[in-house]
Amino acid sequence: MTEEKISRRAAMKKTMNAGLAAGAVASMPHWILPALAQGETLVPFSDMPEDFSRGPASPGGTHFMDTRQISDFYSDNMDFYVVQHYGQPQVDLNSYRLKVTGLVENEKEYTLADLRAMSQFQIDAGFECGGNRSALYHGLIGNANWGGVRLADILNDAGIKPAGEEVVFFGADIGSELIRETEVEQAFARSLPVADAMRDVNMLALEMNGENLPQFHGRPLRLLVPGYYGVANVKWLTQIHVQDRRYMGRFMGRDYVTLKREMIGDQERWVENSVTKIQLKSSIVRVTRMGNQHKITGFVLNDGTPLRNVEIKIDNGPWQVANLDPRATQYSWKLFSMDWNASAGEHTLVSRVTDVNGNVQLTEEQMPEKVSRWENYAQFPRTIVISG
């Protein structure tokens, strides 16, 4: 690692550990670091089992965060959620090549050294799995600082031919799919129309929070499409292919497809859409207590549209504007908090976010009728018991 990277990593660790004595940090597994200030305690939600925590990510499996523990802007690499559908392939770093093929002027192959030698940039981005949901207390989520190469640089290097319409991203992981009674081997893949692929925030990420991309998160290279649900961010990326028509694989055309009833012009219709841009969403995840003062914390995710505000409603009280964490950037998650003079007894807490275009996060009852399990962005009321 370069000096710059090491100091960046050190600075992040410092933020993560702020408020804890050095000894306490060393003796505690990092995934349960409570990051509580002196005298501060975590107040349990009454809608959530106390033993909800699952420990850190472990090889091969999925991992969700215990969202009560969200207190840092950057998620620890071992606590950022993990999801994949065909296992976690081991990619040999020496023989690794990223191939760029199809409707391009020059088909290309890059080694990892080639990619590292190109101009690098960094971006903060948070995302969730399209299947994130209240039963998991929205734990399929994370926020990190990513480092890597601009996707547009790679595409410009190869030169997309005029007939190129769609850019397909293939992972090294392969699964067996039954399609019309035929068993076929398919790699995990997602695609973007050329115009979307050329957005200058899209990254081929080599680093996560200042470290080489961890195995769970797509070592050595993944696509990062800021503002999109996790499924867009192809891990273990090995091939980029330009073609003249839409790509329809399982994860574009059959799975991660939302079926909902909505107005299409003046007609109500059932429509299916691929899971792409993150819907406007907020959720309360944490309540802490210091003396008699309580503090409510939550997160916002969306597609990068600027926000107007986040509000919190306690019981049947008025909506009150919460404070947004100033570290938020366009595509990061946005943490918010509000001090609360809580009275003893059971309370219901709910948040809602509004963007600059006036879109307001809907209640569960206001959500469009939806039969698929993807894109769960309704307001999420929480219950908590405050002791006297």
Ligand X SMILES: Nc1nc2c(c(=O)[nH]1)N[C@H]1C(S)=C(S)[C@@H](COP(=O)(O)O)O[C@H]1N2
Q: Contact residues for ligand X (CB under 6 A)?
A: 80-86, 129, 142, 171, 173, 188, 216-217, 230-231, 233-236
Find the shortest distance in angstroms from Cβ 372 to ligand X. 14
Residue 336 binds what, of Mo ion, ligand X, none (CB under 5 to 8 Å, by partner type)? none
Pick the closest to residue 111 from 93, 124, 84 (CA basis): 93
Residue 102 binds what, of ligand X, Mo ion, none (CB under 5 to 8 Å, by partner type)? none
Find the shortest distance in angstroms from Cβ 20 to ligand X. 26
Find the shortest distance in angstroms from Cβ 7 to Mo ion. 33
Q: For the chain, how big is the Rg over CA atoms in Å?
A: 22
- Using omega within 30 degrees of 0 as the cis cutoff, is the peptide bond preceding 318 cis? no
Find the shortest distance in angstroms from Cβ 162 to ligand X. 30
Residue 234 binds what, of Mo ion, ligand X, none (CB under 5 to 8 Å, by partner type)? ligand X
Cα dihedral 90, 240, 253, 186 sign: negative
Residue 85 binds what, of Mo ion, ligand X, none (CB under 5 to 8 Å, by partner type)? ligand X
Question: Which CB, 239 or 361, lies closer to ligand X?
Answer: 239
Which token pair is 376? 């769960």
Find the shortest distance in angstroms from Cβ 229 to Mo ion. 7
| Cβ neighbours for 355, distance < 8 A, ≥ 6 positions apart | 280, 302, 305, 306, 307, 308
Beta bridge partner(s), residue 82? 63
Find the shortest distance in angstroms from Cβ 301 to ligand X. 13
Question: Which CB, 150 or 219, lies closer to ligand X?
Answer: 219
Dihedrals phi, psi of 188, to nearest 5 degrees: -60, 130
Question: Which CB, 45 or 256, lies closer to ligand X?
Answer: 256
Measured from the Cβ of residue 249, the count of other Cβ atoms closer than 10 Å reads: 17
Question: Which CB, 213 or 310, lies closer to ligand X?
Answer: 213
The dihedral formed by the CA atoms of 264, 268, 271 and 273, expressed in degrees to the nearest 10: 50
Question: Which CB, 210 or 227, lies closer to Mo ion?
Answer: 227
Q: Give the footprint of Mo ion on this chain (CB under 5 A).
A: 83, 129, 230-231
Cα dihedral 19, 24, 26, 29 sign: negative
Residue 81 binds what, of Mo ion, ligand X, none (CB under 5 to 8 Å, by partner type)? ligand X
DSSP letter at 370 equals B
Which token pair is 364? 């569960």
Find the shortest distance in angstroms from Cβ 75 to ligand X. 9
Whose structure tokens read 């908090």? 337
Question: CA–CA separation, 144 vs 128, rounded Å?
Answer: 12
Pick the closest to residue 279 from 329, 229, 232, 235 (CA basis): 229
Question: Which CB, 158 or 187, lies closer to ligand X?
Answer: 187
Question: Which CB, 72 or 128, lies closer to Mo ion?
Answer: 128
DSSP letter at 13 equals H
Residue 173 binds what, of ligand X, Mo ion, none (CB under 5 to 8 Å, by partner type)? ligand X
Nearest residue to ligand X, scored by beta-carbon proximity: 171
Find the shortest distance in angstroms from Cβ 373 to ligand X. 12
Measured from the Cβ of residue 15, the count of other Cβ atoms closer than 10 Å reads: 12
Question: Which CB, 45 or 188, lies closer to ligand X?
Answer: 188
